[in-house]
Copies of this chain bind each other. A is one copy, B any other.
Amino acid sequence: MNKEDFVKEITNIDENFAQWYTDIVRKAELADYTETKGCIAIRPYGYAIWENIQNYADKLFKESGVKNTYFPVLIPESLLQKEKDHVEGFAPEVAWVTEAGGEKLEEKLCIRPTSETIFTTMYSKWLKSWRDLPFVYNQWCSVLRWEKETRPFLRSREFLWQEGHTIHETEKEAKERTLKMLDIYSDIVENFLAIPVIKGIKTETERFAGAVETYTIEAMTYDGKALQSGTSHYFGQNFTKPFDVKFQNREGKQEYAYQTSWGISTRLIGAIIMAHGDNRGLKLPPKVAPIQVVIVPVAMHKEGVKEKAEELYNSLKDKFRMEIDLRDNVSPGFKFNDWEMKGVPIRIEIGPRDIENGVCVLVRRDTQEKITVKLDEVDKEIDNLLVEIHNNMFETCKKRMNAKTTIAHNLDEFKANMDKEQGFIKAMWCGSSECEAKIKELTAAKSRCIPFEQEKVGDTCVCCGKKADKMVIWGRQY
């Protein structure tokens, strides 16, 4: 297979972005479809990305006082029904176990779509006094939501995530935890995955079922769609009252605890693909890349080439996540394309001429730039380059997000902007759900969030024209 054929295997990103996405997921061996409809198998290369995200996130969680736990995958129907809004939101998309151990169950059990109900039930048993608080618990697990349309990583029926569930003595402390987690999430997405996000608060329509407030970080894909990348919810006492999570407060009185929950998921892998990828394939940010540097020897049959490449590999492998490609049944050209498709940030080419000159060539995945480097300076050069690649990838996304963000003052402008180029629209909003619904109906764009960083782009609602003081970010979503 030559270079051209190789690239042709992937659908053009500007012609059919959805198909391009699926091609990358499968050709880069991140995941594959399974016999279980709507569920994927995450392959080693995809799972290694998730492990890196987990390690980075889990460290930040623990530093902030989070403790890991594990709660049952099955939730009795009666528990799910205790909080009215919650069951309305989730019941339509759950999967039910009705038979087990050869018998029909007396009460059916759902596979958790999220675990507020079961955490809150256990908290009601464990909590006695203000001295026990806070409970800042998390679990890394899978959840199931029976989606009609699925897409690998972005919307799978089963997906991996972490779900944090906390209870606190005071409203203030619970709200601080809600925002603290949003900060951690934006740290993960921006500083680890090199994807800029907008932080804000969801409108009532877009709020999590049962929450008082839902906070979100919103990213933008290559094709200008919005990708909700992490959410953090403040529940007040919405669950602790029906679930009877009480404690003796400092004044000796019984009080209901204040609650939060928050989650990020394998959807972030989808975000990485959609924010950074190009026509050559996947493009992985250096910090999360399972392989940061791959060595491809050129003219490997020539004396000393393989040995020198291996020597280089051994000198670098304790410092970077390395791979060396010694396959003897494909050409260097094939290998170059293969590793570009897999998104490895830096490729090292080394051949007989390079060895003679005591150099090798570093090729950046993000810019395709080739840099000739002395062998005894490779180490330091890679260090710098990985940082530079991260920064460049972040800036590229940021520029795109800015370029694809426009302002609209009325519905005509809104539609015109969206028709011209799919992206974010900043517009004032009066606060009514009717206006939100109308905008969605006319433009297929939903409110993404009321961003923390407000900007006065007008005085009147983009939809109804009434007085408005909230600037909202709107966009079509994945």
Contacts and interface: CB of A to CB of B under 8 A. Distances in A.
A329 B160 CA distance: 41
Interface size classification for chain A: 35 or more
Contacts of A122: 32, 34, 41
B111 A70 contact: no
Interface in A66-97: 67-76, 78-79, 92-97
A333 interface: no
Given A76-B35, A100-B146, A146-B101, A69 B47 contact: yes
Nearest to A144: B73
A366 interface: no
B111 A97 contact: yes
B146 A74 contact: no
Contact of A99 (B50, B70, B96): B96
A40 B74 CA distance: 11
A279 interface: no
A70 B41 contact: yes
Nearest to A79: B35
A36 interface: yes
A36 B119 CA distance: 12
A365 B17 CA distance: 61
A48 B69 CA distance: 8
A137 interface: yes
Copies assembled: 2
A35 to B, nearest CB: 5
A97 B98 CA distance: 6
Nearest to A143: B73
A55 to B, nearest CB: 10
Contacts of A40: 72
A131 B326 CA distance: 12
A116 interface: no
A8 B79 CA distance: 35
Given A70-B41, A70-B160, A96 B93 contact: no
A95 B100 contact: yes
A70 B108 CA distance: 26
20 contacts: A32-B122, A34-B72, A34-B121, A35-B75, A35-B118, A36-B72, A36-B76, A36-B118, A41-B122, A42-B69, A44-B69, A70-B142, A73-B142, A74-B95, A74-B144, A96-B98, A99-B108, A100-B146, A102-B146, A141-B142
